């Protein structure tokens, strides 16, 4: 016997930045508990507010540090530069945003906002404020109406002329909570405090409170029932019909309205970052990369964007690099702190020693000068592999091979100093140079090995990229860029959608095999192009067919489906693999296979097919329950019926089906349009557990196999 208990707390949560402030110890007012090292109230935020306690949200923005770092670099060239005095009407900045130059710009890096900026062509700060407020779940539904009204302001109709001065700035659309408050004040005579109480009720969708406020909004109140006195719209000359329409519109739009003061503050930061990107791209991108030193996945796209901006990124070097990314002559120098497995304290000593006593002249003297300042063999090897010690007289292979003798020599020298003996190296640098250990006579490591070492130590390729030569091929095959795939967002209709078919030309960085419980083999790949890296799942059937082509460092043309989930990074599900043709073959057009999928980046989303070329005779207009195909019927298909293409349960059902990849096509039917989507690209291995799960999720009559 199972008992289902509803309404009971399942787990506790903690607000990311909410802080309760009291005049006395907090436990005098609310019960507390510990969540890790944090002390948290046992009451949820609504109860805390009702108790009258002050609850503040303290939000830290990495972008503010980025702006500060960029400004400090700019001041080395322009000492009196002040970011607070830049022209907020700068045409060049708005032109850049209107052309889609938003990468790195605060709140505007997603593909959706980039597309919105291109459609909108912002020309002042007010436009950016509106973008920040509109581009979020809920208000996004009103973006088309906003853009249409913005394009044709002469066609905007107001229920009453009194609305025009309030909504004119947002082209007849309620976008901000402040507009809701102003409508109640200007049209119905509410006080500031009363209008704010209505704003809260609207934002929290308190239907009972709103219905009561409708009466006051239309007919006013003398305050005898405890409400705030107001005239009401009718007393101020607005018809009852118009007042009701305005109130209904507020119920639709205002429930998603955003706080304009918040949006304006964010928009100002957005403009500052856009201005810096436009006028000082090197300093801005250097600051951006410094802010993600420990996150290679974010750094790779920024380095790629530097190329788009015409800014060169120079490799790390002990004589030129500082701890963070810096700018020299318009070029960005790689920061030493981005080198993996090297302590920050050791890097600080290296930079300090160089600034105090001059550049390092040779590999041996570098080791000698930092030997007693946190010297670590592993760290020095990391410097060698990434190229930070290039140009000191030896190639990378020579330096790696002579590490043993260098460490031994320095250790002997250290012991002599301790015992008071004078070493020959103390006789002068000119004489000491001749006593440095001799380097082995070997050639530099091959280019492939060199790039692999750079990737190992920094997470990126520095002196080149294995995929650089394949850029033209990827474009010819209309392959998707990995960084664009990683931007996919289930809530963003303008990005790649879940299940999108894509072709990618990539190199396999890592590969991990796994034996499943059914004793089959599957694999997890990490693949990358010049713009980013993404995980690829290779299920057993795909592995059996293409596993022989999958090995680390292999360059492949892959056809896959995109998997996008709210709680995890986008992944690819491999469907087929074609070995990439050699560059010579490609240039000559010899034995070049056609791409299986021609990927086209979405502009306003990839809508599912709603009209098949010809609906198959066996596909019922209203699928019946438990209907199965006759023994000699055409190949089976699984039909799933949804109220509409945007129904939320559709994503869950599609996700469940993808957990059972197979050969049976899965088709969708949408009740609102009475249309099929027969080309979903989803195929499943049909089993009783899958069908039972889907029927439980969608209902018996909405799952048909025939």
What is the per-residue pLDDT for 251?
A: 73
What is the per-residue pLDDT for 664?
A: 83
Please name the residue ranges forming H helices in 611-698: 648-658, 688-698
In degrees rounded to 5, what are phi and psi of residue 383?
A: -60, -40
* CA atoms of 431 and 109, how far apart (whole Å): 57
Model confidence at 580, pLDDT cuts 50, 70, 90, reads confident
CA neighbor of 542 nearest in space, from 562, 518, 523, 514: 523
Max mean pLDDT range (12-26, 35-49, 90-104, 630-644): 90-104
pLDDT at 543 over 70: yes
Q: Are 531 and 301 within 8 A, CB to CB?
A: yes
Tokens of 654: 């599609």
* CA atoms of 524 and 508, how far apart (whole Å): 10
Model confidence at 627, pLDDT cuts 50, 70, 90, reads very low
What is the per-residue pLDDT for 491?
A: 57
Helices and strands in the chain: count of H runs, count of E runs: 27, 17
Max mean pLDDT range (115-124, 273-282, 519-528): 273-282
CA neighbor of 575 nearest in space, from 503, 641, 627: 503
Model confidence at 706, pLDDT cuts 50, 70, 90, reads confident
What is the per-residue pLDDT for 578?
A: 80
pLDDT at 619 over 50: no
What is the per-residue pLDDT for 494?
A: 59
Model confidence at 589, pLDDT cuts 50, 70, 90, reads low
Please name the residue ranges forming H helices in 204-295: 207-219, 240-253, 260-279, 281-291
Task: Give 450-476 as a DSSP string.
Answer: HHHHHHHHHSS-SS--TTGGGHHHHHH
Tens digit of each residue's pLDDT (9 = 90 or more) over 607-617: 333 333 333 33
What is the per-residue pLDDT for 401?
A: 93
Model confidence at 606, pLDDT cuts 50, 70, 90, reads very low
pLDDT at 352 over 90: yes
What is the per-residue pLDDT for 204?
A: 73
* CA atoms of 486 and 536, how far apart (whole Å): 12
What is the per-residue pLDDT for 614?
A: 30
CA 391 to chain centre: 38
Mean pLDDT along residues 562-581: 83
pTM of the model: 0.71
What is the per-residue pLDDT for 181?
A: 92
What is the per-residue pLDDT for 650?
A: 84
Model confidence at 591, pLDDT cuts 50, 70, 90, reads low
Q: Specify the DSSP class assigned to residue 636.
A: P
Q: Are 668 and 676 within 8 A, CB to CB?
A: yes
CA neighbor of 104 nearest in space, from 318, 325, 308, 356: 308
| Tokens 């560059």, residue located | 583
pLDDT at 7 over 60: yes
What is the per-residue pLDDT for 421?
A: 56
Mean pLDDT along residues 512-518: 88
Tens digit of each residue's pLDDT (9 = 90 or more) over 421-440: 555 445 454 444 446 788 88
Pairing of the two strands 675-677 and 313-314: unpaired
Task: Give 90-148 as a DSSP string.
Answer: -HHHHHHHHTT--TTSTT--SHHHHHHHHHH---SHHHHHHHHHHSSTTGGGGHHHHHH
Mean pLDDT along residues 163-170: 93
* CA atoms of 630 and 688, how far apart (whole Å): 18
Tell me how far CA of residue 254 lies from CA of 114, 141, 199, 472, in angstroms. Answer: 25, 13, 8, 49
Whole-number percent of the chain with pLDDT over 70: 87
Mean pLDDT along residues 227-254: 88
576 forms bridges with which residues in the sheet? 559
pLDDT at 630 over 70: no
For residue 178, the SS3 value is helix
Residue that wins the pLDDT comparison between 490 and 649 = 649
Task: Give 486-519 as a DSSP string.
Answer: HT--TT-TTSPPTT-EEEEEEEEEEEEEEE-TTS
Q: Which of 234-248, 413-427, 451-465, 515-529 has the lowest mean pLDDT?
A: 413-427
pLDDT at 158 over 80: yes
What is the per-residue pLDDT for 629?
A: 36
Direct distance between the N- and C-terminal alpha carbons of the chain, in angstroms, rounded to an integer: 36
Q: Which of 418-427, 564-573, 693-702 has the lowest mean pLDDT?
A: 418-427
Tens digit of each residue's pLDDT (9 = 90 or more) over 383-435: 999 999 999 999 999 999 999 999 998 888 878 776 665 554 454 544 444 46
């Amino acid at each position: 016997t199972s008992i289902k208990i509803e309404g009971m707390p399942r787990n506790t949560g903690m607000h990311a930045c909410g802080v309760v402030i009291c005049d006395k110890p907090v436990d005098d007012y609310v019960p507390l508990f510990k969540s890790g090292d944090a002390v948290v109230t046992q009451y949820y935020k609504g109860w805390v507010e009702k108790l009258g306690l002050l609850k503040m949200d303290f939000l830290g923005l990495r972008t503010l540090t980025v702006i500060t770092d960029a400004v400090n670099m700019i001041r080395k060239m322009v000492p009196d530069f002040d970011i607070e005095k830049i022209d907020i009407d700068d045409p060049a900045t708005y032109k850049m945003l209107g052309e889609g130059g938003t990468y790195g710009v605060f709140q505007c890096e997603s593909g959706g906002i980039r597309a919105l900026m291109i459609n909108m062509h912002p020309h002042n700060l007010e436009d950016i404020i509106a973008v920040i407020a509109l581009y979020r779940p809920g208000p996004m539904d009103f973006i088309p109406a906003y853009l249409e009204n913005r394009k044709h302001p002469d066609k905007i109709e107001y229920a009453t002329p009194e609305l025009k001065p309030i909504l004119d700035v947002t082209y007849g659309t309620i976008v901000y909570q402040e507009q809701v408050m102003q409508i109640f004040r200007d049209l119905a005579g509410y006080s500031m405090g009363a209008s704010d109480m209505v704003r809260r009720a609207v934002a929290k969708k308190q239907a009972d409170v709103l219905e009561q406020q409708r009466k006051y909004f239309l007919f006013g109140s003398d305050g005898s029932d405890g409400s705030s006195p107001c005239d009401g719209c009718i007393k101020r000359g607005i018809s009852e019909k118009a007042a009701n329409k305005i109130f209904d519109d507020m119920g639709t739009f205002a429930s998603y309205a955003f706080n304009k003061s918040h949006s304006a503050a964010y928009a100002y930061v957005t403009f500052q970052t856009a201005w810096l990107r436009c006028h000082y791209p090197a300093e801005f991108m250097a600051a951006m990369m410094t802010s993600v030193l420990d996150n290679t996945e974010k750094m790779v796209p920024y380095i790629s964007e530097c190329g788009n901006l015409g800014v060169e990124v120079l490799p790390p070097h002990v004589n030129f690099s500082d701890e963070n990314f810096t700018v020299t002559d318009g070029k960005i120098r790689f920061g030493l702190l981005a080198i993996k497995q090297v302590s920050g304290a050791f890097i600080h000593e290296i930079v300090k020693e160089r600034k105090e006593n001059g550049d390092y002249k040779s590999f041996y003297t570098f080791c000698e000068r930092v030997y007693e300042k946190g010297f670590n063999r592993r760290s020095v090897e990391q410097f060698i592999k990434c190229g930070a010690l290039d140009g000191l007289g030896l190639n990378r292979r020579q330096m790696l091979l002579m590490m043993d003798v260098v460490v031994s020599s320095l250790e002997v020298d250290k012991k002599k100093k301790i015992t008071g003996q004078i070493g020959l190296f103390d006789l002068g640098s000119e004489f000491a140079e001749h006593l440095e250990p001799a380097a082995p006579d070997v050639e530099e490591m091959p280019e492939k090995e060199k790039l692999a070492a750079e990737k190992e130590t920094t997470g990126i390729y520095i002196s080149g990229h294995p995929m650089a030569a394949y850029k033209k091929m990827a474009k010819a095959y209309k392959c998707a860029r990995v960084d664009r795939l990683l931007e996919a967002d289930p809530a963003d209709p303008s990005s790649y959608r879940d299940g999108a078919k894509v072709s990618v030309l990539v190199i396999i960085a890592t590969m991990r095999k796994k034996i499943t419980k059914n004793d089959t083999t599957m694999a997890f790949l990490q693949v990358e192009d010049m713009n980013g890296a993404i995980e690829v799942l290779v299920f057993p059937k795909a592995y059996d067919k293409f596993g022989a082509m999958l090995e680390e460092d292999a360059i492949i043309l892959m056809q896959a489906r995109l998997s996008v989930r709210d709680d995890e990074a986008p992944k690819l599900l491999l469907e087929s693999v074609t070995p990439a043709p050699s560059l010579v073959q490609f240039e000559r057009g010899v034995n070049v296979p056609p791409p299986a999928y021609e990927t086209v980046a979405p502009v306003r989303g990839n809508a599912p097919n709603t009209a098949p070329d010809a609906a198959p005779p066996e596909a019922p207009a209203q699928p019946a329950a438990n209907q199965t195909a006759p023994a000699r019927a055409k190949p089976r298909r699984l039909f799933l019926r949804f109220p509409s293409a945007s129904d939320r349960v559709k994503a869950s059902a599609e996700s469940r089906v993808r957990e059972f990849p197979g050969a049976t096509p899965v088709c969708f039917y949408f009740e609102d349009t009475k249309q099929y989507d027969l080309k979903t690209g989803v195929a499943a291995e049909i089993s009783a557990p899958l069908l039972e799960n889907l029927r439980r999720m969608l209902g018996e009559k909405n799952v048909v196999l025939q």
